[in-house]
Structure 1
Amino acid sequence: MNSSLYELDYVLWLESTVDCLQSGDWEGIDRLNLIEELEALGRGERRAVASLLKQILIHLLLYQYGVTEQERNRKHWAAELVNFRDQLQRYVASQTLKNYAQSELTVVYKVARLFVERKTELDGLPLACPYSLVQILDEAFYGEVR
């Protein structure tokens, strides 16, 4: 397959690549661009997991520590947790992405904590992530309201 098709018409390139794979036409496959696309797909999945994990952590921190805004925002934060957890659950059905979420939890938590501190001027948020991945994924868990 001509790699220029990849640059000219990406969707047609995808369709042609699928056709080659389905028919066993290994010579017709644009291997370099296919490898690049598969690697990008993996990176994108990991970015999505980290992003959803960060959003869940932000909302758990707000729900648990945002005392002055709880009455006004509690339902919104809870609804956001349902939404982000649903999306993350779909990714972590893959054990590889679940392991990735676990390995990134400490780093992502630091960013989430910093975001909440800057947005709300809250002091005293835990320096280390107070939530396990099991709690983060648990649709019934909202942390202890302080």
Structure 2
Amino acid sequence: MSNTLYDRDLQQWIEQTVEQLRNREFGSLDIEHLIEELVDLGKSEKNTLRSNLTILLAHLLKLRVQYDVPDMMKGSWYSSVLEHRQRVLNNLADTPSLKSYLVEALEKAYPDGRKLAIKEDKLAKFGVRVPQESEYSMICPFSVKQILDEDFYGV
């Protein structure tokens, strides 16, 4: 097993690397691990966007498919839509280059969002109708514009 600073204490490695960059000590940089961390950072940004889209899509679907549930149940879905849409909008504002990844992220997030909505809806209680899986479109029924529209709730 390797016993480099990177392997022993990632936070200390980061602080050291930042200091080396500030001091322009390029020759002493741990280039391989620096590249690895930068690649992971990019993946993390994409994963965050996809994760927020998954939950946003799941709750937009629930609002569309389970339109007949009591308002009390819908309230939490509306709140989740608001929260996760804002997170998506923040992701895109903070990292504008993610806009070019948005369509791909939606294509990856929709099947997971659909699956999540179906699983959550199977847990329905209080005599609420449990929708059939066929009621959840296999293809995302929402456009990018609708998904990002702060006044759109899928209904």
TM-score over 0.5 for the pair: yes
Deviation per CA, 1:36-56, whole angstroms, max 9, x where unpaired? 111111111111111111100
Q: How many residues align?
A: 142
Aligned-partner Cα distance in 1 for 2:55–2:23:
42
TM-score by length of 1: 0.87
- Cα displacement string for residues 29-80 of structure 1 (whole angstroms, at most 9, x for unaligned residues): 1101111111111111111111111100001011122124242212211111
1:36-51 equivalences under 5 Å are: 36-51=36-51
**1:95 equivalenced with 2:114 (yes/no):** no
CA contact (8 A) 1:62 1:116 kept: yes
Three-state SS of the structure 1 residue aligned to 2:142 is: coil
Residues 1-146 of structure 1 mapped to structure 2, 5 A cutoff: 4-93=4-93, 94-120=95-121, 121-123=130-132, 124-144=135-155
Q: Where in structure 1 are there 5+ consecutive unaligned residues?
A: none
**Alignment check: 8 A CA contact 2:52 2:87 kept:** yes
**Are the equivalent residues in 2 in contact too, given 1:20–1:29 (CA < 8 A)?**
yes
How far apart, CA to CA, are the structure 1 residues paired with 2:115 and 2:29? 46
The 1-side partners of 2:86 and 2:73 are apart by 20
CA contact (8 A) 2:50 2:108 kept: no
SS in 2 for 1:82: helix
Distance 2:70 2:58 in 1: 14
Query: Aligned-pair distance for 1:23?
Result: 1.4
Q: Deviations over 1:118-139 (max 9, x none)?
A: 3324232222111112211111
Can you give the 5+ residue segments of structure 2 that lack an aligned partner in the other structure? 122-129
% identical equivalent positions: 30
Contact conserved, 2:46 with 2:105, CA < 8 A, in 1? no
